[in-house]
Each structure stands twice: as C-alpha cells, then as structure tokens.
A and B are shown apart, each in its own frame.
Chain A
C-alpha cells in the first residue's frame, strides 16, 4: 500500500499545501485564529499519519478534512467573530461590496457555504472540492449553482 509520509518526510509532504490549509482555516475560523488551527491540524496530521491512505486520494483533501475537524473543535471552544477588517481593503469600494457578500455567504446552508469557501475563496478546483466534500464533481457544480441562487436572494433581501 502506498501511504502517508515517512517521519523524515513529513515536512516536505505538508509544505506544498500550507497556503491552501491556511486559507481554509481562515475561512473556517477567521484569519486571527487560522494559525492556531493550522498548527493544531498539523500536529493532528502527524499523529494520524498512519491513517492516510494514498489509494483513496491525494494528501490535500485529507489534510483539509483535518483542518475542518480542528476548526469545528476550535469553534466549540470559542465564539468566532467575523473579522470584517480582514475582508479586503477598507478604503476601497470593493470592500463594502465584499462585506455584503461575506454576510450573505455566512447565511448560506452549510454545504453551500463550504462549496463557496473551498471553490471561490480557498481557490480549489471542482475535483478537489468534491474530494473534500466527499461527493461527485457534478454535485459540487450543482451546489455552487444553488449557492449562487441563494446568495442572490440573500443579497436582494439585504437591499430591501
């Protein structure tokens, strides 16, 4: 069985994914706590490295799933406050629009929000999003389509 990292290779194994893991953690718990969650996730990944099965997928979805799990635990310990200051440049007009969009995204159903976070904000392709969400790529596309529909309604509601 081709499996996870060797003890000496763990650093090199996770390093290419740090940017993505950090982005996902920032979407899950906010930028201020993302470092803590990534660190927690890496420790967990090290402890659980023997449970990684390369035959079932690439390392990134496995690592992202650990980040998601640790983010959930993090949120149960402390209330996560939306860090509005971290949304774009506050001086720019785009930032206000992004804030409206962020508020709407946070009102999406969980699966729709996860798809939006992973695809648009973390920057994953549909195939990888599907692996993380444990569904088919077509389901991700459908979920993103539904999410855009929900967002359109939510943003419209905000403007009423």
Chain B
C-alpha cells in the first residue's frame, strides 16, 4: 500500500527528526513539588527549552509558585532560580479546638451561592466544577464534607448515586467574603449506556443547602461498554 509505504514513512521520519530537535522535556520542567500545609514555595524550574534552539542552552530558570494553607498553587510570581523551599511554621491544625462561640459556624442552607459551572473533560469523562462563594450579607462560615448529588432528567432523579472521590479527604473550608470553594462532579457521560438526558444536577451541600446546575447532557456509549455512576469530590479550595 503506497499510502503506508511512502507518506507514512515520511511522516515517521519527520516526526523523529522533529522530536530529536526538541530540547529534552526534563530540562523544561525539572521539579514539580506540591505545596504542603503552611505557606511554602513551589518550584517549577523552566529551562526555556525551545529558546535553546535560538539561544545557547538555558538551564534551570525557575518559576516560583506560592501556596497557602489550602494546598492550592497560585500563579507564577517570579522567574528566577529559587531551588530551596522556604520553611515556615505550620499553621494551626484545622482539626484543633472547636470554634469559639464567636468563630465561624457551619454554613447553613442560605449562606452560599453557586457561580457559573465550568465543564471540563477528557477521555470521555466530563467534569462539572461548581464554584461556591459566600452569599451577600451572610456571615463567614465553614463547610466540610462531600455533597450529595442527584442527576435529574426533566425533574426525575435518574437514580445514579454519586460515589465519593476519596483521593483528597474533606477539609474544613472557611468561607468569607471573596473566598471561593469548588465542588467537582465527574461522569463518564460518553460511556454511559443508560441513554439518558441528564439536564440538571441537584447538589445538596454538607450544610443542607440545595443547588441546581445544568447537567451533563445526553449519554452515549460504544458497544461493549457499561455505565458507571458519577463521582463527586469533597468541597475543596481551588
């Protein structure tokens, strides 16, 4: 088959030459260290690898990220070599003494509002991320735990009970004006064989508040696939 013999070979050779012309990726991002509890630096060295084609080898320019005690990285703030994490005293453990009578209490049914959901996806799994903020006029409060989710079709519960994504255990999130937390709901919608039209998702937050957001849409699957239930993360700070 000439298609396979000539152009396939030409593409393979071009791809190989192109890969050989690229700087090694290990020079592009040498170290990715997640943040720990307490303020700490995140170091992501960047070699500006592609620029090496035009400029002499650039090795180890670093991008320093900072993170707070919510275990979330912040955008890069510097591009200098900074390989050493800065040790800082850990913050007070969130599981310490119970809040004082004047401290934040658990968020109630009217304390939070949902922002516009974001939808992301890969490999047939869609993820709907619902941002939560403190409602106008509400007092600061805390939220902790997994929401319950129900997938609805024209108002009817499809009976697909969401499983908990246990990779990251729930932590107490303090909601104050300007603070944001997320609920992430994933579903292999394009692999679900129930042939349903999930037009709404009902989310019941740990404090009892009920939110409704647009659903995943029409499901479909390939022959031989089986459906799997959606999953939901604990409320997390992003």
Contacts and interface: CB of A to CB of B under 8 A. Distances in A.
Nearest to A86: B53
B15, B63, B238: residue with the most chain A Cβ atoms closer than 10 Å: B15
B147 interface: no
A118 B187 CA distance: 25
Nearest to A58: B123
A125 interface: no
B123 A50 contact: no
A62 B231 CA distance: 16
Contact of A87 (B7, B18, B54, B123): B18
Contacts of B36: 7-8
A140 interface: no
Given A7-B34, A22-B28, A39-B44, A47 B73 contact: yes
Contacts of A65: 121-123
B68 to A, nearest CB: 13
A85 B54 contact: yes
Interface of A is mostly: helix
Interface in A43-68: 43, 46-53, 55-57, 61-62, 64-66
A106 to B, nearest CB: 13
A98 to B, nearest CB: 5
A77 to B, nearest CB: 14
B59 interface: no
A87 B14 CA distance: 9
A21 B231 CA distance: 27
A19 B186 contact: no
Interface residues of B, number: 67
Contact of A53 (B76, B165, B234): B165
A66 B122 contact: yes
Interface stretch (B19-27, B106-114, B195-203): B19-27
Contacts of A55: 228
Given A23-B19, A101-B11, A123-B19, A53 B50 contact: no
Interface size class of A (residues with CB under 8 A): 35 or more
22 contacts: A18-B29, A19-B26, A23-B19, A23-B25, A35-B49, A43-B76, A47-B72, A47-B238, A50-B184, A51-B165, A51-B184, A51-B186, A65-B122, A66-B122, A83-B50, A86-B22, A94-B13, A97-B14, A101-B11, A116-B11, A132-B122, A148-B3
Given A34-B49, A49-B168, A50-B168, 20 more contacts: A7-B36, A8-B34, A10-B34, A23-B22, A23-B25, A32-B50, A39-B29, A43-B73, A48-B127, A51-B165, A53-B188, A53-B231, A56-B124, A61-B122, A86-B50, A87-B18, A87-B21, A88-B17, A123-B15, A134-B190
Top 10 closest A-B pairs, CB basis?
A31-B50, A65-B122, A22-B25, A3-B167, A120-B15, A19-B25, A57-B123, A10-B34, A18-B25, A121-B15
Interface of B: 3, 7-8, 10-15, 17-19, 21-22, 24-26, 28-29, 31-36, 44, 46-51, 53-54, 63, 65, 71-73, 75-76, 120-125, 127, 129, 163-168, 184, 186, 188, 190-191, 222, 228, 231, 233-234, 236, 238
